[in-house]
Structure formats: C-alpha cells, structure tokens
Amino acid sequence: MRVPFSRSLPLIATALILSACVSTKDVPVNKHISQSGQLKVHPGLLGMPVPAELADTMPGATVAEAPIKMDEVGLRTQRSVYFDLDATAIRAEFNPMLQAHARYLQANPKARVRIEGNADERGSAEYNQRLGMRRAESVRQAIIGHGASDKQVVLKSLGESRPKLKGHDEESWTENRRADVVYEKEN
C-alpha cells in the first residue's frame, strides 16, 4: 500500500531539514549517515515500498501487512482504534492492543489514560460529538474489561474537530473514525 504524497510531505520535509543540519565534522560517520554527511531515510517513512532486507531494520517503520507487536512497549506505541462508519463496536483486530494497554495500566497503577473519541466530518457537529464520546466509551469499557482500573481511564470527545487527515474522501474519513489512547501520566 502506497502512502499518498500529501501524507508523506511532512516526513519528507523533516528528512530534508535533518539532512541540512547534519555536518560530517560534528557527527561520526556510522551506519545511519552516509560518507557525504547526508542522513539516510528509510523508504517506508517516505511512503515507498520497503525492500525485504530493510523491513525489520528500523524501529517504528511500518510495512502494510505488519502484524501488531505483542511486546508491551511496542503495543503502547499503537494507540488508535479505528471504527466502521457510524459504528462504535470495536473490531477484533484491536483486542490485542487494548489488552496490552490494560496490562500496562494494571501493572502501573499511577498511570492514567485519556480516551479521545473522534468522528469524520460527515454528520452534524452535535452528532459527531456524541459519536466520538460513544467510541471513547467503547474503548474505555474494553480496557477496563481487560483489567485496568476505571479510575485510570477518562473520556473526551473531540467529534470532528481533530482529524488525522483533512481530506474529503474515503481514505480521510476512514482515518478519522477513531479513538486514541493518550497517556496523561506514566509511573
């Protein structure tokens, strides 16, 4: 799956800025910086196909069919639960992620999360606000059902006010129908 140019533009800009800041006299030459002093960028970060030899070499690089990592830290970086149109039911693919968040919260009683429910731009602002809250509540119930304390999980609905993608197409709407797990306090 290729990432549209508009989604990869911030990554490209960041890579260009970082490469402009690199100086060969300040940074030792190693496997991440070429002999010319230019920063190497993983193709997956630019929305390009990732060759097999690079698929597992960069933490955080995503490959379209990569399974969810089961380690606690890796799963805690996966914090969005996506929903079908006008739905609040959590799809089975997100259960391992929610179980990992619950295990972390259970093991760290001082940790707190805020579940932020979101909706796409379709529908009235009031409806999207309510839908965002229902989505956040679904995620909250799942995390609590997996063992987290109800005092560790608070809700917030953002409705359509904070889209991940600002387009007016199915790709954008799919990305914006979500609930995000935001850690407010850890340990």
Contact (Cβ atoms closer than 8 angstroms) between residue 136 and residue 156: yes
**Which residue pairs from 73-80 have beta carbons closer than 8 angstroms and sit at least 24 positions apart in sequence?**
75/100, 75/101, 76/100, 76/101, 76/104, 76/183, 79/180, 79/181, 79/182, 80/178, 80/179, 80/180, 80/181
Question: Is the pLDDT at 112 greater than 80, yes or no?
Answer: yes
- pLDDT value, residue 114: 96
pLDDT tens figures, 33-81: 444 445 455 555 554 555 655 555 444 434 333 444 445 555 667 899 9
Query: What CATH number labels 72-185?
Result: 3.30.1330.60
Q: Outline where DSSP puts E strands in 7-147.
A: 80-82, 112-118
The whole-number average pLDDT for the span 156-161 is 94
Mean of pLDDT values over 13-30: 50
76-88, pLDDT tens digit by residue?
A: 678 999 999 999 9
Q: 165 pLDDT band (50/70/90 cuts)?
A: confident
What pLDDT, on the 0 to 100 scale, is given for residue 81? 96
Residues of the chain with CATH 3.30.1330.60: 72-185
